[in-house]
Amino acid sequence: GYIPDASPVGTTSGDGGGGYDQRRRPRSTVVVVDVMVKDMVLRCVHQIVQAAALHIRSGWKAILNVAQIAARDGNDSIAEMGFLIAKACAEQHGPQMWMLATARVQPTDGHQRGAASAAGGSSSGGDHEPAVEVVSVAGIEYFHELIDCLNEFAVGAATRRPRFALGAIDTLYVAAVALGKQVLAHSSYTKAENISLDDQPLYRVWMPVLRALHEVVMHTEDLEVRTRALDSFFRLVMAHGQHFSRGLWASVLRDLVFAMFADLRDPSASRRFATVDDLELWFSTTLIKALRHLIALFSRYYPSHLSNSMMAEVLELLVMCIAQPSEILGKIGT
């Protein structure tokens, strides 16, 4: 059979999202004969990973691309082999794929100040300030490849293979927490507010993961998978929000969290749902759970980390909930 190119689902785009631009990614086409050949190829790749991980350098990208292609295969055993490869990379071979280092970056100009201002703070910086030493992740591109690979299992396989989707979400969360903890434990780590988001290591690590989980929440029909992704999203933010810079908080809330509630503004204009019943199911399950998570998040981090402007947006959201015909949403809003 023919396996399409290895273009990702699209969890990250551009360096601004902490990932890479799909348009720069080489497209690959793999032609195989039958399931036996696919199985043999995957077993060979798995064996290479297990036996020669210490000697693999740039080959991690090709390995993760193979696993991602397997996620799209119609045969469950092929998809499972691909998932085992991706899981092994995440759980056992992170130290071979990426490592922590230090870099010196220039304090930012208006870009970061604007992000910090949007979060209700201020930022210092200027062209004449000395360079700032920050933690950098050498090989971060392989971490982003891993995110896209696991997200293929989480989104693409959610309906047909929910077991793989749930496993991918859990693996993604564990990998994100582990790498984030390594960054936080590094002797050169500091939560500098006067450097651009793209130079902040936790933004490069956690924002792509949160984008991936957000995509699962917004584009997966399976309720169990969607709920697992939603819980993992807020679990990560709730557990580690004290380490977020103001710019990262602004990006997470405005680009991801508040976007989950876009259908509340005009439910009749939503194009994500085929029927009214689907929209009501979204309101009565995922949206209500997201709202509870959001209230818990602000109860913990406002006003210590979250600004009055962010609280104003939450209050506006609660007003919209009260105006909805759903009794459950209305009660949460009050």
Q: Please write down the HEC assignment for all residues of 132-177.
A: EEEEEEECHHHHHHHHHHHHHHHHHCCCCCHHHHHHHHHHHHHHHH
239 vs 281, residue with greater confidence:
239
211 vs 2, residue with greater confidence:
211
Closest to 68 (Cα-Cα) out of 14, 142, 132: 142
Asked if residue 11 lies in contact with residue 212, where contact means CB atoms within 8 angstroms, the answer is yes
What the block records as the tokens of 290 is 């997201």
pLDDT at position 272 over 90? no
Give burial (CB, 10 Å; 0-12/13-18/19+) of 271. Answer: exposed
The pLDDT assigned to 14 comes to: 43
User: Which of 120-124, 210-214, 310-314 shows the lowest per-residue confidence on average (mean pLDDT)?
Assistant: 120-124
Q: Over pLDDT 70: what percentage of the chain? A: 81
pLDDT at position 25 over 60? no
The pLDDT assigned to 124 comes to: 45
The pLDDT assigned to 325 comes to: 74
Taking residue 201's Cβ as centre, other Cβ atoms within 10 Å add up to 23
The strand pairing partners of 132, in sequence order, are 105
Spacing of C-alpha 61 from chain mean position: 18
User: Which of 12-21, 56-65, 164-173, 237-246 shows the lowest per-residue confidence on average (mean pLDDT)?
Assistant: 12-21
114 vs 172, residue with greater confidence:
172
Quick one: average pLDDT of 193-220?
Answer: 95
What the block records as the tokens of 210 is 């949160």
The pLDDT assigned to 158 comes to: 65
pLDDT at position 11 over 50? no
The pLDDT assigned to 265 comes to: 80
The pLDDT assigned to 257 comes to: 97
Quick one: average pLDDT of 121-145?
Answer: 79
Quick one: average pLDDT of 21-25?
Answer: 43
Closest to 119 (Cα-Cα) out of 304, 247, 286, 289: 247
- Mean pLDDT, all residues of the chain: 85
Query: What number of H helices and E strands is found in the chain?
Result: 15, 4
**pLDDT tens digits for 212-262?**
999 999 999 899 999 999 999 999 999 999 999 999 999 999 999 999 999
Measure the CA–CA gap between 189 and 201, rounded to whole angstroms.
9
Quick one: average pLDDT of 119-142?
Answer: 74
The pLDDT assigned to 22 comes to: 41
Question: Residue 197: which residues within 8 A CB-CB, separation 6 or more?
Answer: 16, 111, 112, 115, 203, 207, 245, 247, 248, 251
16-26: b (≥16 Cβ within 10 Å) or e? ebbbbeeeebe
pLDDT at position 20 over 80? no
pLDDT at position 140 over 60? yes
The pLDDT assigned to 279 comes to: 83
Query: pTM for the complete prediction?
Result: 0.84
